[in-house]
Chain A
Amino acid sequence: MKEDTKIKGFEAPIYFKYSYTAGATTTLFLKKLLEGKIVGQRCPICKGVYVPPRGSCPRDGVATEEEVEVAHTGTVESFTINYIPIPDGDVDPPFVSANIVLDGADLSFMHLISGIPHDEVRIGMRVKALWKPKEDWEPSLTNILYFEPLDEPDRDIDDLLNKYKNA
């Protein structure tokens, strides 16, 4: 080291191991994904179907127990084209991530969209899930590789969730 070298900083890495618990409701959701099903829960008060289910309806503050299987098709509520990779993600940018409302569900969740030029993705478009081969399934939403275009007319997004807004 040269005489005039000053140590300005050092890296002190931190490594911790954690055991993680999904919780009862997420476990239900993930187990159903292992069966190729997408399952949500309905709130007994507002009747809204949560996908993924959370065990409770934060809107009404009650437990949600009724299991509801939803379709693998849905509508794009909003989206963006990512030019920055997700840390630890599998997909190379640019890729489309979108908030999708599955048919039968009453709110959206985020997933990927592919199989269509990025500049043709639009709010209101209809999509369907493309699953990985069955032998590759895990208890994970990544069993669905992405959502691809469904040959149906676009839905009116303002119409879609109006029954709950401002209720």
Chain B
Amino acid sequence: MEDLGTCIVSFLIIVGAFFALVASVGLLRLPDVYSRMHAASKAGTLGSGLMLIALAIYSDDLATITRALIGVVFFLLTAPIASHLLAKAAYAVGYRLSDISVMDEMSKSDPLKDKNA
């Protein structure tokens, strides 16, 4: 039984670290701010959340379990807000989408053509 818990913890840790790595590769490879934001905020949140959950499963102390879970909830609440705010600010100021993006639904004129609004 204890072995099963340890195996679950090792699995969660590896998957979480893998998702953090995927997020940073996406940050490096994607073409513009908005698509990078999608990589960083979704995969990054999943990665660190999984590692905190692994800590909560591994620990046998109630205080540590609570803190780790509170950390997960807090991170899930704040990460989307932060990146949404950043995206809105960048779009309002006029950072453009990359030329290979297909459409811009927030554009005031033609969403399919006017990508540089």
Q: Do A and B bind each other?
A: no
Give residues in B with beta carbon < 8 Å to A. none
